């Protein structure tokens, strides 16, 4: 099946091979957190992993290929984000709680993986289809249920007919992603962490329901 981990030259990787491969991925992940993407060199990753550049090229075509691998694992993990929104109520106090928990959960996930998500974002913005697909996969696990929530409210006539649920949901999600990536920008504006979250929850609630929350 697809589960077979293979080297660049087509061999099947055994236990030891998979271990070094994973170690290379871990070290790359770490390097992405500590130095600019542009400056991440294969030789540094290899050194950090206690091996040689040649070994790196045995498992990955280049740095980008390895990054895609890391991002793919993260995307799988990100599927659980759907639980933050799916099947939740957006009415009354429960609605406010939904908004708050959604914002919290999403920000935590994004900040936890900020280094790799930065690179994915860049790749997607630069037009690379593979990165774009990955980014959509992650965002969709949240955007899709969020869109459904808006559609439901619209069907009940609680939201205007001329709103596009997907546009609203998508915009709110990228807002959260961008805020998480640039949290430093808000401290510069004099906005503290603790203040930011409820305000984001407010915006999300307003966007989804069109109304102010009852707290």
Sorted by sequence, the CB contacts under 8 Å of residue 159 that are 6+ apart come out as: 150, 153, 209, 210
Decide: helix, strand or coil at residue 12.
strand
Tell me how far, at minimum, the Cβ of 8 lies from DNA, in Å.
7
Residues 13-42: x where in contact with a second copy by CB under 8 A, - otherwise, as a string: -----------------------xxx----
Examine residue 121 and tell whether it contacts DNA (CB under 7 A).
Answer: no
Residues 47-76: x where in contact with a second copy by CB under 8 A, - otherwise, as a string: ----------------xx------------
Residues 24/178/213/137 CA torsion (nearest 10 deg): -50
- In which element (H, E) is residue 143 found? helix 129-155
The correct pick among 12, 91, 94, 178 for binding a second copy (CB under 8 A) is 178
Tell me how far, at minimum, the Cβ of 183 lies from a second copy, in Å.
10
Angle at 102 between CA 97 and CA 104, to 5 degrees: 95
Q: Which of 121, 119, 97 is nearest to 173 (CA)?
A: 121
Angle at 200 between CA 37 and CA 212, to 5 degrees: 160
* Total residues interacting with a second copy, rule: CB under 8 A: 57
**Candidates 51-59, 89-97, 112-120, 201-209 — which segment interacts with DNA by CB under 7 A?**
51-59
Residues 117-156: x where in contact with a second copy by CB under 8 A, - otherwise, as a string: -x--xxxxxxxx---x--xx--xx--x---x---------
Examine residue 57 and tell whether it contacts DNA (CB under 7 A).
Answer: yes
Q: Which residues of 88-117 are buried (b: 16+ CB within 10 A; e: fewer)?
A: bebeeeebbbbbbebbebbbebbeebbbbb
- Dump strand ranges (E) for the chain: none
Name the residues that contact a second copy, by CB under 8 A.
36-38, 63-64, 114, 118, 121-128, 132, 135-136, 139-140, 143, 147, 160, 162-164, 166-168, 170-172, 174-175, 177-179, 181-182, 184-186, 188-191, 195-196, 198-200, 202-203, 206-207, 210, 212
Write out the residues near DNA by the rule CB under 7 A: 7-8, 11-20, 41-44, 50-55, 57-58, 61-63
């Amino acid at each position: 099946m697809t589960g077979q981990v293979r080297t660049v030259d087509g061999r099947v990787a055994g236990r030891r091979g998979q271990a070094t491969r994973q170690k290379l991925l871990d070290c790359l992940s770490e390097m992405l957190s500590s130095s600019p993407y542009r400056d991440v060199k294969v030789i540094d990753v290899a050194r950090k992993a206690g091996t040689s550049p040649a070994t790196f090229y045995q498992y990955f075509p280049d740095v980008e290929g390895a990054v895609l691998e890391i991002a793919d694992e993260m995307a799988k993990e990100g599927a659980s984000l759907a639980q933050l929104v799916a099947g939740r109520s957006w009415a009354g106090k429960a609605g406010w709680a939904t908004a708050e928990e959604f914002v919290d959960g999403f920000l935590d996930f994004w900040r936890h993986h900020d280094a790799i998500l930065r690179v994915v974002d860049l790749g997607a913005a630069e037009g690379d289809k593979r990165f774009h697909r990955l980014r959509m996969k992650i965002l969709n696990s949240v955007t899709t249920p969020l869109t459904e929530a808006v559609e439901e409210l619209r069907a009940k006539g609680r939201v205007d007919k001329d709103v596009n649920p997907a546009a609203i949901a998508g915009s709110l999600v990228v807002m959260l992603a961008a805020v998480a990536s640039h949290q430093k920008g808000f401290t510069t504006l004099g906005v503290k962490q603790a203040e930011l979250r409820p305000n984001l929850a407010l915006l999300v609630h307003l966007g989804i329901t069109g109304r102010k929350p009852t707290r």
